[in-house]
Amino acid sequence: EEDDTDADADADAGDSSGSRDASAPPRIVAVDLQPMAPLDGVECIQGDITSLETARSIVGRFEGERAELVVCDGAPDVTGLHDVDEYLQSQLLLSAVNVTTHVLRPGGTFVAKIFRGRDVGLLYGQLRILFERVSVAKPGSSRNASIEAFVVCQRFRGG
């Protein structure tokens, strides 16, 4: 079971035509397995991003508008078995990418936590189909031995 399944669609949810009122606040949708304290301007969904019901709820909150940015910083409970942890994280990431293809505007950005393992090159290749630029960032505060990093995907090709 995932621990912190945020698939925060931190979004300036204007449509891709740019017709959204620039003075309107951005739409922010936060998703987590655990209950979240209410935050001003944030639409909270308690649910599992890997479930179809939660994915539909996220997409529905955008009411056909598109996000500028989607952030997924969720991670499964770590088992200590790198292959298992990488697989569980990849399933979480796959679900976040699925939602992203429905809510991100063309040219938008997707940032997600990943566990780097031996198959990470395959992941990058798949993401490059959807995004013009894919890079990896490892926070300076992260331990060198940690397999955790963030994939930054820019210029979404979708529509």
Q: What is the pLDDT of residue 121?
A: 81
> Is 134 within 8 Å of 124 (Cβ atoms)?
yes
DSSP letter, residue 54: H
Percent of the chain topping pLDDT 70: 83
Label residue 59 exposed, middle or buried (CB < 10 Å: 0-12, 13-18, 19+): middle
pLDDT digits (tens, 9 = 90+) for 9-43: 443 333 334 445 666 778 899 999 999 999 999 99
| Residues designated as active site | 113
> Is 22 within 8 Å of 7 (Cβ atoms)?
no
Tell me the domains of the chain and their CATH numbers: 9-156 (3.40.50.150)
**Distance of alpha carbon 64 from alpha carbon 139, whole angstroms:** 34
Query: Does pLDDT of 7 surpass 90?
Result: no
Span 86-109, average pLDDT = 92
pLDDT digits (tens, 9 = 90+) for 103-131: 999 999 999 998 887 777 888 899 999 99
